[in-house]
């Protein structure tokens, strides 16, 4: 039989290998596609929530501004502002309650290294023993923990001497 020749057997094995590797490629592409679909769906729903949020914020602002307009026109409403049992008082309370829901999250800036360097200009490398509690003042750069120090004519000079003789932890 022709199928029993070594050449045919070799080709059959190779073909099966190709098939397997194509299949593996196909599976990994399909997985990637599924992950992208999922990501897209998440982004779309986040966008949707943001839209809703915006919409509610706008309604809230409209409500607040029309109430303010009414209060500004009416002395009666103005007097009711502080009376929580009055309709105006209740409307104000409702707006304040909604505003509380929409309080933005506290902004926490990322600590940026460049920011520290710029701000201080006195970013000192750790002492020879690796202590981080170091500082420079009065012409002396020193470690508060082990008292290692460098004395110079100015604080700036002491600081610079310290950093040229002490390796930075970040550059290693």
Q: H helices of the chain, where?
A: 6-73, 75-80, 87-101, 113-120, 155-165
* Residues in the chain, overall count: 172
C-alpha span between 69 and 32 (Å, rounded):
55
Neighbours of 99 (CB within 10 A): 13
57 CB-near residues (< 8 Å, 6+ apart): 102
Nearer to Zn ion, 81 or 131 (CB): 131
Residues between 94 and 133 that touch Zn ion (CB under 5 A): 127, 129, 131
Nearer to Zn ion, 98 or 163 (CB): 163
Residue 143 interacts with Zn ion (CB under 5 A)? Answer: yes
What's the min distance (Å) between Cβ of 94 and Zn ion?
Answer: 60
Nearer to Zn ion, 69 or 130 (CB): 130
Residue 145 interacts with Zn ion (CB under 5 A)? Answer: yes
Residues between 26 and 65 that touch Zn ion (CB under 5 A): none
Q: Which DSSP string corresponds to 46-58?
A: HHHHHHHHHHHHH
What's the min distance (Å) between Cβ of 122 and Zn ion?
Answer: 17
Interface residue list for Zn ion (CB under 5 A):
127, 129, 131, 143, 145-146
């Amino acid at each position: 039989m022709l199928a029993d020749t070594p050449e045919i057997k070799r080709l059959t094995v190779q073909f099966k290998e190709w098939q397997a590797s194509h299949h593996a490629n196909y599976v990994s592409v399909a997985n990637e596609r599924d992950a992208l679909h999922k990501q897209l769906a998440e982004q779309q729903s986040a966008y949707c929530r943001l839209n809703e949020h915006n919409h509610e914020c706008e309604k809230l602002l409209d409500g607040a501004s029309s109430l303010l307009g009414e209060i500004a026109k009416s002395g009666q409403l103005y007097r009711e502002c502080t009376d929580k049992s009055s309709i105006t008082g209740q409307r104000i309370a409702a707006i304040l309650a909604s505003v509380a829901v929409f309080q933005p999250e506290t902004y926490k800036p990322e600590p940026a290294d460049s920011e520290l360097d710029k701000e201080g200009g006195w970013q000192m490398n750790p002492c020879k023993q690796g202590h981080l509690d170091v500082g420079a003042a009065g012409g002396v750069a020193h470690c508060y923990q082990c008292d290692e120090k460098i004395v110079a004519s100015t604080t700036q000079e002491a600081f610079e001497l310290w950093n040229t003789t002490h390796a930075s932890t970040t550059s290693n």
